[in-house]
Amino acid sequence: MLGDSITDQAVWSELLPAWPVVNAGRSGYTTAQLVPVAAAIASREPAMVFVLTGTNDIRDGYPPEWTATQLASLLDAIESESPSTTIVVQTILPRSDRLDEAGATAGAIEAAATSLGVRVLDLYSPFNDGSGGLRSDETTDGIHLSSAGYQRWATLLITELRRP
């Protein structure tokens, strides 16, 4: 699991007990900062890497196109080091505090991954409360997930892990 604080704060051994998961979440990291982390992870030739990044790009004022470009570099770092690794890019979660930017960034992430032939797991749509934010019971602060939010995410991940 590669990502920012949302990834970092999860207890993956409890959420996905049937799978050996390495938590490579880095609190506060932007997509560009995760590129060398991705390369280091890929050097271990993991079977799969789930990527969740982009919300800190919004925090730092980067446009969706920047996130998409950095994501392409991150994916290249994984693919060049470990071509047999299955990569699943996840869209960012909704953010009611930055509604337009979050939707646009989620769309840019999905488009970039799709254009590069990488699997996409949409988190934006299933977590959207209908007004562009996270459901109140699934967040602790409007950005990070609560226990219920992590449970929902784990359910989506399990479906993806079972895909051929």
Domain regions of the chain by residue span: 2-161
Taking 90 as the threshold, does the pLDDT of residue 1 lie above it?
Answer: yes
Output the CA–CA distances (angstroms, integers) from residue 164 to 48, 86, 104, in the order listed.
Answer: 12, 11, 30
Q: Give yes or no for residue 41 having a pLDDT over 90.
A: yes
Q: Encode 113-122: b = buried (16+ Cβ within 10 Å), e = exposed.
A: beeeebebbe
Q: What is the pTM of this model?
A: 0.97
Confidence band, pLDDT 50/70/90 cuts, at residue 42: very high
pLDDT of 164 > 90? The answer is no
Kindly report the CATH number that applies to the domain delimited by 2-161.
3.40.50.1110
The answer, yes or no, to whether residue 61 has pLDDT greater than 90, is: yes
The amino acid at residue 3 is G
- 15 contacts 154 by C-beta, under 8 angstroms: yes
